[in-house]
Structure 1
Amino acid sequence: MGVCNRRQFLSLLGGIALTGFTGQTSALKEPLPTRVLGRTKVKVPTLGLGFGPIGTGLTESQAIELMEQALELGVTYWDAAPTYARAQEYIGKILPKIRDKVFLVSKVATDDAKRALEIIEQSLRTMKTDCIDLVHVHNIGDFNPDRVLGKGGVLEGLREAQKRGWVKFIGISGHYRPSVMAKVLDSGEFDVVMCVLNFVDRFTYDFEGKVLPIARKHNVGVVAMKVMAAPQKGYGKPNPGRLADYADLAIRYSLSLPEVACAVVGVFSVDELKQNVAVAKSRKLLTKFELQRLASIGKELAQKWGAHYGDPT
């Protein structure tokens, strides 16, 4: 049976109400749940704000409005990177006034210690802060694990950044090559891992099976990314994630994984943000029946999409 549209999908789930975010207004009044981010021991909201779409698709005034609304709604885990166009610049517009309210995340797309320090220093200037809570090695699958962990590698640079007080915690993020992520993570050197966790890509990349057990082993905090899967044509409007029509299910899938502390989702509007917050605040995990149905849908879509991020090994 093909999965062509949302109507068919809802029918497959036996008429369970998954659209419209029923009771959204009342749900938004509830506090956003928090979970402990592994060995960092920091409590973070279960929903984080991804700045990819914000930096590439919004004006400054739109970005500021969205950030202010995120704060009001309790979405205080902010995930940015120097490669997200104007994202860090936008953050710097309001961060000095609200620094103590935000768990700030950035990234370094390098395997070199010296270059990592240069990137972090620039991010500090751009975001107008003296410390970043968490810095990931951006897309770890791009790099050789031995270089990452070895002399002069990015781990050395991140440790130096910690000594200087620029960074509190260090992590790795990744879209593909889960075997590389697994090897680096098993070094026990990193505090947090951020990887692709959605009900379709699990059948192609399987970060759930290849990475999450290692995170448990080292008590590493886990953050879900690509919760809605990647946009088909980049982050510019009108190209939301491939699973955006199933946002409630996608968020609930990620948060149903016991290792996950936070699901980071990028949005283009306050309305999208409020819808996602309502789902996270509902605390409604997937039932066994829903998981079985999502497995069927996920397998079919995975065959259709293929390895759309890159190497799945």
Structure 2
Amino acid sequence: MFRLGKTHMTINKLGFGGIPIQRVDISECKQIINQAKKSGINFIDTAVGYTVSEEYIGEALKENPHSFYLATKSMARTYEAMKKDILGSLDRLKRSYIDLYQIHNLGEADYELVFSENGALRALKEAKEQGLIKEIGITSHSVSVLDRAIDTDEFATVQFPFNIVENQGEEVFRKAKAKGMGTIVMKPLAGGALEDARLALRYLTKLDFLDVLIPGMADEKEIKVNQSAVEDDSPLTEKELADIKYLKENMGDKFCRRCGYCMPCTVGINIPMQFLLEGYLRRYDLETWAVDRYNSSDKNASDCIHCKECEPRCPYGLSISEMMVRVSTEFDKL
């Protein structure tokens, strides 16, 4: 158990990611949450955008609503929209307050708006003053956005993807840690691309700038495997080190790190988001959710004109044009 940055929360290294809750029913959710508690997990991360996740978690915890620290997040960018989402989260989670409320997936395009007089941050600060939330955090898939946000001293925590094949966030995590902020790792299994969960989590537990890991978990077996990995404080073996090296070298030219250097797209596609949604579809088994977001985008992978102007900007040498064909094929056949 350790204190998450300078927050009021004393948590375990393994947290509970709430995305996969969407694919189970309420009865299964209760069983999963109960197993998480038995395993020592006491931090749950969810989001307004995860369809039924907040509602199910709230129902599972209604008899003992403060048995976990609860973190949620909203894509709202304006004052009024964030204010509405905070109240909605309180209602769905059945709590009088929420431990950590985060600005969800902030990008460069909305950065100034969020920090403006009519922005979402103002609503969060007011809610904190009113006791509706305890801490304010931020999540992003952009290193540059988090780097700027950390300097504002407005946030208690930062959340960013980090795993064996996605390590572009190391500097911002170290910077946040040095300032006393809590560091939360999303996608520790690379959105399910890393099949050996034990290896993936053992790798992360050896990094001193990472506080809590929040893999998505949708059954009791996953909880047990993940908890066992996090509790194993033995040094990485020679075989584990060799396997990690192999993954870094062999997934490097196939895996989008969502760094955003490929942007802007000639026709306006959010390129990293296409690969993120593909991961939810193929590895998280969240077909309905992923398809809905894919189809609601102004532009998606099927709009790619294969100009390849993005490819020289990719620091990992990805064949983005070919990967767009793969993504559009996956979604267009559904």
TM-score above 0.5: yes
For structure 2, the 5+ residue unaligned runs are 263-334
TM superposition shift of 1:306: 3.2
Is the CA contact (8 Å cut-off) linking 1:50 and 1:79 kept in structure 2?
yes
1:112-157 deviations in Å (ceiling 9; x for gaps): 1221111010011111111000011101226433222232222111
- The aligned residue for residue 162 of structure 2 is 197
User: Deviation above 4 Å: which 4+ runs of structure 1?
Assistant: 287-293
Q: CA–CA distance in 1 between the matches of 2:203 and 2:228?
A: 15
Q: CA–CA distance in 2 between the matches of 1:166 and 1:284?
A: 41
Q: CA–CA distance in 1 between the matches of 2:242 and 2:10?
A: 31
Is the CA contact (8 Å cut-off) linking 1:190 and 1:220 kept in structure 2?
yes
Is the CA contact (8 Å cut-off) linking 2:183 and 2:212 kept in structure 1?
yes
Q: 1:130 to 1:312 in 2, by over 3 A?
A: farther
Number of residues paired by the alignment?
262
AA aligned opposite 1:132: I
1:62 and 2:28 correspond: yes
Matches within 5 A, 1:37-52: 37-52=4-19
- The aligned residue for residue 169 of structure 2 is 207
Matches within 5 A, 1:1-313: 34-55=1-22, 57-141=23-107, 143-174=109-140, 176-202=141-167, 206-209=168-171, 211-230=172-191, 241-243=192-194, 245-284=195-234, 286=236, 290-291=240-241, 294-307=244-257, 309=258, 311-312=260-261
Q: 1:306 to 1:90 in 2, by over 3 A?
A: closer
- The aligned residue for residue 5 of structure 1 is none
Using CA pairs below 8 Å that are at least 6 residues apart, which structure has the higher relative contact order?
Answer: 1
Structure-2-length-normalised TM-score: 0.73
Q: 1:214 to 1:266 in 2, by over 3 A?
A: same
AA aligned opposite 2:96: D
Q: 1:37 to 1:292 in 2, by over 3 A?
A: farther
AA aligned opposite 1:61: S
Secondary structure of the residue aligned to 2:62 is: helix
1:157-196 deviations in Å (ceiling 9; x for gaps): 110110111100010112x221112111221110001110
Structure-1-length-normalised TM-score: 0.78
Q: CA–CA distance in 2 between the matches of 1:134 and 1:251?
A: 23
Q: CA–CA distance in 2 between the matches of 1:214 and 1:153?
A: 25
For structure 1, the 5+ residue unaligned runs are 1-33, 231-240
How many percent of aligned residue pairs carry the same amino acid? 29
Is the CA contact (8 Å cut-off) linking 1:106 and 1:134 kept in structure 2?
yes
Tell me the C-alpha RMSD between the 2 structures: 2.0
TM superposition shift of 1:296: 4.6
Q: 1:126 to 1:143 in 2, by over 3 A?
A: farther
TM superposition shift of 1:283: 2.7
Q: CA–CA distance in 2 between the matches of 1:300 and 1:279?
A: 23
Is the CA contact (8 Å cut-off) linking 2:29 and 2:60 kept in structure 1?
no
Secondary structure of the residue aligned to 2:155 is: coil
Secondary structure of the residue aligned to 1:185 is: helix
1:189-236 deviations in Å (ceiling 9; x for gaps): 10001110101012xxx0112x11320232110011100112xxxxxx
